Amino acid sequence: MSLPRIHIGRPQRLAALLLLVLLAECLWVVGHQELSTADYRFARCGREMWERPSALEGYFTTCGNLNGDGTFAYRAAGLPLTVQRIVLLAADRLRAPANRLYADGSLNGTTWEARHELTSVVYLIHMPFVLFALWLGGGLWWVTRRLYGNEGGFLALGLYCFCPTVIRMAVTPNNDVLAMWGLYGLVYTAIGVAHAMQGPQRRWRPRIALLTVALGLTAAAHLVAALFGFLAALLFMLYLAQRRRGHVMQVLLISAVGATMILFAFYGFHLDAFSYVFMGGSARLWFSLAGVRSFVDSLANFPIVVAACVTALLYCGVRRSRYFGNTAPLLVFLALTPIVTTQAVSTPWLWALPFLFTFIGGVFADALEARTRKLFLVLTATILAAQAAACLAALPLVAR
């Protein structure tokens, strides 16, 4: 079997440049941050998940059973520190027994008390979330470029890379950035599975496996995101599958079973801790627009708000913009924005941002194909430049 050829042309290089700018923004913010008690909590409990169970009887970690909070962010924050600890121990074993620093082979015998032995802790804790934000940016560009072409893809990616809210989520340990990453991948993987169902069944399996992984990782970040993504996948797949609609529920049930096993693995196959997924109230939610108002009221997001308003007017007024590729992200965005969780501390309206950028990129790409192309090219460039300037000016505030 020959591997597919990977062509890296000018569009790929420009997209990589934008992602490098996002990485530079995040690294600058992380470099100006100080470790907080929340950072230590995520790192300590994450290391306990990777290295050993808690000594407290009946609890998964010293953080308890994480009532209502996903384990994904804890494991992501703790993994680099655990890896560095393993490297330190492995290097120490290469020394002569008389010169070894850790005679008991366990960094002073504790999980977190030996934090002074680890280096660059602030970067190690925060970098996994920065990498997931970069991964989501790459996925956003890949989806929008395939749907709308280079211009729509670059507009969506540019707004994403210069969004202060995205950067703020990417530089702190939290489950929201992971839920945002997982939910976006889950929805568009489900759409891809529905398209594949029109072809031979041998092409279904890898996409169904990818759908299962996406659903499981999203559930590990936040249960509400997984449930919302499952419902969105069901509706979109029923719409797109056409003659294969009878297979949709089978595909989703297989994915749900596999996702449950992935979620169980995140709890180290501890049944008592895993039971809190169902008893902890993490799926309790209500509706409010307070979060959206705070986003709109922020001056740093003003160019994005302008772009969203122009996009809404074009979508309502221009018939050629109203097709599935534009309507799907709009529906997800409108459904997510009013949701608030009442048990776990999270911000579901932030998960809607990639879908908003997808919608903006799609409608602007349609406008750039019309006779008013020059006007919208100027408008697109102005919005991107204004958003970049607003984002760079807001970085010192994000670092606080």
pLDDT band at 99; cut points 50, 70, 90: low
pLDDT band at 113; cut points 50, 70, 90: very low
| Region 277-291 average pLDDT | 81
Cross-strand pairs, 64 = 61
Give residue-wise pLDDT tens across range 174-214: 999 999 999 999 999 999 999 888 877 777 888 999 999 99
pLDDT at 109: 45
Cross-strand pairs, 58 = none
pLDDT at 331: 96
pLDDT at 94 over 80: no
pLDDT band at 257; cut points 50, 70, 90: very high
What mean pLDDT is reported for the chain?
Answer: 86
Buried b / exposed e along 91-103 (16+ C-beta atoms within 10 A): eeeeeeeeeeebe
pLDDT band at 34; cut points 50, 70, 90: confident
Buried b / exposed e along 321-360 (16+ C-beta atoms within 10 A): beeebbebbbbbbeebbbbbbebbebbbbbbbbbbbbbbb
Cα–Cα distance, 90 to 282 (Å, whole number): 39
> For residues 226 and 93, which has the higher predicted lDDT (pLDDT)?
226
HEC per residue, the chain: CCCCCCCCCHHHHHHHHHHHHHHHHHHHHHHCCCCCHHHHHHHHHHHHHHHCCCCCCCCCECCECCCCCCCHHHHHHHHHHHHHHHHHHHHHHCCCHHHCCCCCCCHHHCCCCCHHHCCCHHHHHHHHHHHHHHHHHHHHHHHHHHHHHHHHHHHHHHHHHCCHHHHHHHCCCCCHHHHHHHHHHHHHHHHHHHHHCCCCHHHHHHHHHHHHHHHHHHHHHCHHHHHHHHHHHHHHHHHHHHHHHHHHHHHHHHHHHHHHHHHHHHCCCCHHHHHHHHHCCCCCEEECCHHHHHHHHCHHHHHHHHHHHHHHHHHHHCHHHCCHHHHHHHHHHHHHCCEEECCCCCCHHHHCHHHHHHHHHHHHHHHCCCCCHHHHHHHHHHHHHHHHHHHHHHHHHHCC
Task: Please enumerate in sequence order all residues whose Cβ is within 8 A of that of 387, keeping only pairs 6 or more positions apart, or say none.
Answer: 158, 159, 162, 163, 303, 304
- Tokens coding 80: 């680099």
Cα–Cα distance, 284 to 222 (Å, whole number): 11
pLDDT at 51: 81
Give residue-wise pLDDT tens across range 54-86: 555 556 777 766 656 788 999 999 999 888 888
> For residues 112 and 323, which has the higher predicted lDDT (pLDDT)?
323
Q: What pTM does this model have?
A: 0.91
pLDDT at 223 over 70: yes
Give residue-wise pLDDT tens across range 36-56: 888 888 888 888 888 875 555
> For residues 200 and 116, which has the higher predicted lDDT (pLDDT)?
200
Main-chain phi, psi angles of 61, to 5 degrees: -140, 180
**CA distances (Å), 130 to each of 29, 124, 134, 283, 372, in order?**
11, 10, 6, 26, 38
Lowest average pLDDT, out of 1-5, 209-213, 351-355, 387-391, goes to 1-5
Give residue-wise pLDDT tens across range 311-359: 999 999 988 889 999 999 999 999 999 998 887 778 889 999 999 999 9
**Extents of the domains making up the chain:** 37-119, 127-173+284-400, 175-277
Q: pLDDT above 90 covers what percent of the chain?
A: 55
Lowest average pLDDT, out of 304-308, 350-354, 393-397, goes to 393-397
Residue with tokens 């919208």: 376
